[in-house]
Chains A and B, each alone.
Chain A
């Protein structure tokens, strides 16, 4: 009893000390430059997703029929004497060849870009005379605004997918490990089936089930559900294996010998020991979801027009003619790349911090 009390006090002291020195500031100091860059990138993308109407310059579905496939426009700083009109201006562009869709900038005219106006970060007076920061697509829609709105789909698909996969994986993995017997046997055979699926072919076959008339939100959740359905099994198996191996560790046996209840052992000893791995695995599996959604949308089986996702924005590039003439339509790919790379860096960093046993 005395020993237990001393241990408790000791542990609590250690926990308090850890809490004082941990926290965001300490984590920030420990992180490398690449990890900091990744964290900023992801924070920015989630900000874009959360406040899309503010960050987007225009309605992402507004079609400017006079300006399809317009290249990214230049931005200029006004002279300080003109700052009452606004900080920045651009030269409006006009199509000079409707067949080849080439544009020229009208250098004699200035188009003011207003900051923090009408609820947008930056915009122009009218959608009819727009400032296309990243160019426009084949229907004359602002690519930048579409990327901002597309971040909602692409950034959320990973979070929600991981949430579903991991709650399924942890519950089923733990259940399978604790109940054992026939339930364990059946769950493990089922997970073997799922793990032996040729995943991309299967994803294609399942994505075909999504009716084309469905709303964007419903399609989004169908895609997330399909990808979670494919990916929970491997995770459940690992959690099951870890849980059963932790169960026979000396510290768990010590807790049992000290008379700790089963509930206490599970919540205080087993789950925390698995949690580090789970967080790392969760972070590292988010890119898979982002890439899966992008791939499906790119192939026309995911999020449908006029809604935007980073994947379906790239679909236009599948036409070689578009790719050759309007290379700016590849810009959404850079966003996908940055998001994927940031999650990879962050996951790798978290592995070093939380799960030192498996890091190299």
Chain B
């Protein structure tokens, strides 16, 4: 266990270095930089521009800038957002909170719906419910999230039942804490639905195929032969064994917590990390982009690691040596 953990954590170092360097390189390949927009402004003198370039370190060669950034990161200094003029850490933290709330709620939404439906559908295989819901799942899997987001925005516009995009109302700051929470939840309903629907469809299909596979195995036949009730067979024997891949999935979806919602955030104007990242990319705010990429990478790696650990914990057939070998 300890050896496995140490190996995996050590493995992460070259991964993070590689990913951050590629991103840094990509951002430096972009023609122009943050200051080049200011150069077009006649009221800003060249001296000021040079001063800004020197202050942001934009006049130095690529490798020097990368290692300076890396050195800062090692001291937990993620740099300075050129656009917002505040530290990247604070900016990301405030936006990541919104994104994580959104992603977690939609995860809970899709798991809470998909697993029971998957079980019902698999137990009643080839029934009318099975056919309808399996078809609907395909539908749900294929609807592009941004298109669904547009449709929901249109629904909100036409019915007035839901707020039209945004994370909270304009008068959010003046509300009392309880109304603030209610306001946030009200704004969450549509995004959670949009984000959750494709996950629901995928999970339901997985649950269905898992149960169908296990339903025909020999230990289930044995359980039936022993005279156990159908209920016990399904819940104690089939379901427990069907849940294995879901443990792994939960870990992997942790890695998707920050990045998965980016597109929907952009369409529905939700103040999350995805929208921040998009603005940062558009305005070439390099340290903000790097900070977001780094956060996303770390969360993804940690999620994968947790997924592997959880798999070993629940499945006695898997041990750390076999996980490490993959």
Q: Is A193 a contact of B143 with CB atoms below 8 Å?
A: no
Complex CA–CA separation, A205 to B288 (angstroms): 11
Q: Is A344 a contact of B150 with CB atoms below 8 Å?
A: no
Asked if A189 is an interface residue, CB under 8 A from chain B, the answer is yes
Cβ-closest chain A residue relative to B143: A337
Q: Is A330 a contact of B263 with CB atoms below 8 Å?
A: no
Asked if A40 is an interface residue, CB under 8 A from chain B, the answer is no
Stretch at the interface among A113-121, A173-181, A312-320: A312-320
How many whole Å from B160's CB to the nearest CB in chain A? 11
Q: Is A204 a contact of B144 with CB atoms below 8 Å?
A: no
Residues facing A in B184-236 (CB within 8 A) are 208-209, 212-213
Q: Is A196 a contact of B138 with CB atoms below 8 Å?
A: no
Q: Which residues of A are found within 8 Å of B153, using beta-carbon distances?
A: 320, 323
Query: Which among A204, A301, A314, A320 is the interface contact of B146 at CB below 8 angstroms?
Result: A314
Q: Using C-beta atoms within 8 Å of the partner chain, give the interface range for chain B.
A: 35 or more
Point out residues on B near A: beta carbons under 8 Å: 11, 14-15, 18-19, 22-23, 26-27, 29-31, 135, 138-139, 141-144, 146-147, 150-151, 153-154, 157-158, 164-165, 208-209, 212-213, 255, 258-260, 262-263, 266-267, 274, 277-278, 281-282, 284, 289, 292-293, 296-297, 299-301, 304
Cβ-closest chain B residue relative to A360: B209
Given contacts A193-B15, A204-B278, A204-B281, 19 further A-B contacts (CB under 8 A): A193-B19, A196-B301, A198-B258, A198-B293, A200-B259, A201-B292, A201-B293, A205-B23, A205-B26, A205-B281, A208-B281, A211-B31, A295-B263, A336-B144, A340-B144, A341-B139, A341-B142, A344-B142, A345-B138
**4 closest Cβ pairs, A-B complex:** A198-B296, A360-B209, A341-B142, A333-B147
Q: Which residues of B are found within 8 Å of A219, using beta-carbon distances?
A: none
Q: Is B142 a contact of A337 with CB atoms below 8 Å?
A: yes
Number of A interface residues, CB 8 Å? 45
Query: Which among A198, A211, A287, A341 is the interface contact of B300 at CB below 8 angstroms?
Result: A198
Asked, given contacts A196-B300, A314-B147, A337-B144, whether A201 binds B26 with beta carbons under 8 Å apart, the answer is no
Asked if A86 is an interface residue, CB under 8 A from chain B, the answer is no
Cβ-closest chain A residue relative to B273: A201
Query: Which among B30, B267, B284 is the interface contact of A318 at CB below 8 angstroms?
Result: B267
Q: Which residues of A are found within 8 Å of B150, using beta-carbon distances?
A: 314, 317, 323, 330, 333
How many whole Å from A84's CB to the nearest CB in chain B? 43
How many whole Å from A303's CB to the nearest CB in chain B? 15
How many whole Å from A307's CB to the nearest CB in chain B? 20
Chain A CB count within 10 A is highest, among B258, B296, B304, for B296
A 68-100 to B, binary, CB cutoff 8 A, 1 in contact else 0: 000000000000000000000000000000000
Q: Is B266 a contact of A299 with CB atoms below 8 Å?
A: yes
How many whole Å from B263's CB to the nearest CB in chain A? 5
Q: Is A208 a contact of B27 with CB atoms below 8 Å?
A: yes
Q: Which residues of A are found within 8 Å of B274, using beta-carbon distances?
A: 200
Residues facing B in A196-236 (CB within 8 A) are 196-202, 204-209, 211
Q: Is B208 a contact of A360 with CB atoms below 8 Å?
A: yes
Q: 22 A-B residue contacts at CB 8 Å? A: A34-B135, A192-B15, A193-B15, A198-B258, A201-B262, A205-B23, A208-B27, A208-B30, A208-B281, A209-B26, A209-B29, A294-B144, A314-B146, A314-B150, A317-B150, A330-B147, A333-B150, A337-B142, A344-B138, A344-B141, A345-B138, A360-B213
Complex CA–CA separation, A125 to B29 (angstroms): 49
Complex CA–CA separation, A207 to B23 (angstroms): 11
Asked if A291 is an interface residue, CB under 8 A from chain B, the answer is yes
How many whole Å from A39's CB to the nearest CB in chain B? 15
Q: Which residues of B are found within 8 Å of A333, using beta-carbon distances?
A: 144, 146-147, 150-151
How many whole Å from B306's CB to the nearest CB in chain A? 14
Complex CA–CA separation, A193 to B18 (angstroms): 7
Asked if A298 is an interface residue, CB under 8 A from chain B, the answer is yes
Q: Is B19 a contact of A201 with CB atoms below 8 Å?
A: no
How many whole Å from A185's CB to the nearest CB in chain B? 12
